[in-house]
């Protein structure tokens, strides 16, 4: 059953290029249906050079909210009236809230990741050391949220060491951090409570790749992957075999959408229904 569309329907959408693969429309429309909100959410293919006009369209057409994805997350910051601290530190906006023509940019990727991690594993991050594998755009969000959650030290390992050092410097305003090359993972792995992969290693079609030597993983660890295609990566399968608690990447996607939904509507997101419809779409 679809949402009822009439003259009162409030519009939402996602801007990206490419965009036809996006699971956000099925997930958010299911959330509106479940909560009985008269709204509709569509995917908009916004080509390079057209983003400014598209954002003007949010105001002109009185969309209540928009998600922004690759490649527009950075440029869109130029067109906001206000930028939340999360998006400012991360350097990217993935959620826009329209308050009567005034647009505020947020980033819900990192906080979505942490909420999913806590709800699915029960981990309390306060005072814990963590190891992040990767220092790209998603790692910026995850690192910011882990620091805000009270992680006592964040090790950032990356193929390009300069990027790890740069992210460590950015996050040092929020907690203790260090950047390093991938060759240093073995030196710190026994100190940490959580390891999270934020590289594309293991993502379809490279499903046999792992982001680190999994023989280093011990059974006291929580091991998390932001990759969600496949839903359980080789990294997580091997971590589970070694006794670790695992946390798959789909939760990050679900909860970044859940936070956007809550910012827009003020209504708690119907997580179970959102997850169900996205998981179903993967098995089709």
Residues recognised as catalytic: 73
Measure the CA–CA gap between 23 and 20, rounded to whole angstroms.
9
Distance of closest approach, residue 139 Cβ to ligand NAP, in angstroms: 5
Distance of closest approach, residue 115 Cβ to ligand NAP, in angstroms: 12
- Site size for ligand NAP (CB under 6 A): 23
Asked if 125 and 149 count as a contact pair (C-beta separation under 8 A), the reply is: yes
Distance of closest approach, residue 240 Cβ to ligand NAP, in angstroms: 18
Chosen residue from 16, 105, 134, 143 binding ligand NAP by CB under 6 A: 134
Is residue 230 part of the contact set for ligand NAP (CB under 6 A)? Answer: no
Is residue 14 part of the contact set for ligand NAP (CB under 6 A)? Answer: no
Return the structure tokens found at 105: 């940019």
In the bound state with ligand NAP, the residue whose beta carbon lies nearer, of 29 and 256, is 256
Angstrom distances, CA of residue 219 to CA of 4, 94, 193, 214, 216: 49, 35, 10, 12, 10
Query: What letter does residue 196 receive in the DSSP assignment?
Result: E
Asked if 279 and 251 count as a contact pair (C-beta separation under 8 A), the reply is: no
Helix (H, G, I), strand (E, B) or coil at 280: helix
Chosen residue from 29, 95, 199, 265 binding ligand NAP by CB under 6 A: 199
In the bound state with ligand NAP, the residue whose beta carbon lies nearer, of 9 and 22, is 22
Which 32-61 positions form the footprint of ligand NAP (CB under 6 A)?
A: none
Query: What letter does residue 59 receive in the DSSP assignment?
Result: H
Which 144-183 positions form the footprint of ligand NAP (CB under 6 A)?
A: 158-160, 163
Angstrom distances, CA of residue 193 to CA of 7, 105, 243, 245: 52, 32, 13, 11
- Of the candidate spans 31-39, 75-83, 123-131, 137-145, the one that interacts with ligand NAP by CB under 6 A turns out to be 137-145
Is residue 252 part of the contact set for ligand NAP (CB under 6 A)? Answer: yes
Is residue 227 part of the contact set for ligand NAP (CB under 6 A)? Answer: yes
In the bound state with ligand NAP, the residue whose beta carbon lies nearer, of 192 and 196, is 196
Asked if 17 and 40 count as a contact pair (C-beta separation under 8 A), the reply is: no
Distance of closest approach, residue 121 Cβ to ligand NAP, in angstroms: 15
Asked if 187 and 212 count as a contact pair (C-beta separation under 8 A), the reply is: no
Asked if 252 and 228 count as a contact pair (C-beta separation under 8 A), the reply is: yes
Measure the CA–CA gap between 190 and 131, rounded to whole angstroms.
10
Which 90-129 positions form the footprint of ligand NAP (CB under 6 A)?
A: 109
Is residue 228 part of the contact set for ligand NAP (CB under 6 A)? Answer: yes
Distance of closest approach, residue 175 Cβ to ligand NAP, in angstroms: 19
In the bound state with ligand NAP, the residue whose beta carbon lies nearer, of 82 and 279, is 279
Return the structure tokens found at 249: 């990447």
Strand order in the sheet with 129-133: 176-180, 153-157, 129-133, 194-197, 222-225, 245-247
Distance of closest approach, residue 202 Cβ to ligand NAP, in angstroms: 8
In the bound state with ligand NAP, the residue whose beta carbon lies nearer, of 38 and 160, is 160
- Chain positions contacting ligand NAP, by CB under 6 A: 109, 134-139, 158-160, 163, 198-201, 203, 226-228, 249, 252-253, 256
């Amino acid at each position: 059953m679809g949402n009822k569309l009439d003259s009162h329907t409030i519009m939402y959408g996602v801007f990206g290029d490419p965009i036809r693969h996006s699971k956000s429309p099925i997930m958010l429309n299911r959330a509106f249906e479940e909560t009985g909100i008269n709204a509709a959410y569509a995917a908009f293919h916004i080509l390079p050079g057209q983003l400014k006009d598209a954002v003007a369209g949010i105001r002109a057409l009185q969309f209540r909210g928009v998600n922004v994805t690759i490649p527009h997350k950075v440029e869109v910051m130029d067109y906001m009236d206000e930028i939340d601290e999360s998006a400012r530190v991360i350097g990217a906006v993935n959620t826009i809230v329209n308050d009567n023509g005034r647009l505020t940019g947020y980033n819900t990727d990192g906080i979505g990741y942490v909420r999913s991690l806590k709800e699915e594993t029960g981990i309390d991050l306060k005072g814990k050391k963590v190891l992040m594998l990767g220092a790209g755009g998603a790692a910026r969000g995850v690192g910011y949220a882990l620091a805000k959650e009270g992680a006592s030290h964040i090790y950032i390992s990356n193929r390009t060491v300069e990027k790890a050092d740069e992210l460590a410097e950015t996050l040092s305003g929020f907690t203790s951090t260090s950047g390093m090359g991938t060759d240093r993972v073995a030196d710190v792995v026994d100190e940490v409570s959580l390891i999270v992969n934020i590289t594309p290693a293991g993502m379809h079609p490279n499903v046999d790749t792992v982001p680190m030597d999994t023989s280093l993983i011990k059974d006291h660890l929580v091991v998390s992957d932001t990759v969600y295609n496949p839903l359980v990566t080789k990294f997580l399968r091997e971590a589970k075999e070694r006794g670790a608690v695992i946390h798959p990447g789909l939760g990050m996607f679900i909860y970044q959408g859940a936070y956007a939904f809550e910012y827009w509507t003020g209504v708690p997101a119907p997580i179970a229904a959102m997850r169900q419809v996205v998981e179903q779409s993967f098995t089709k």
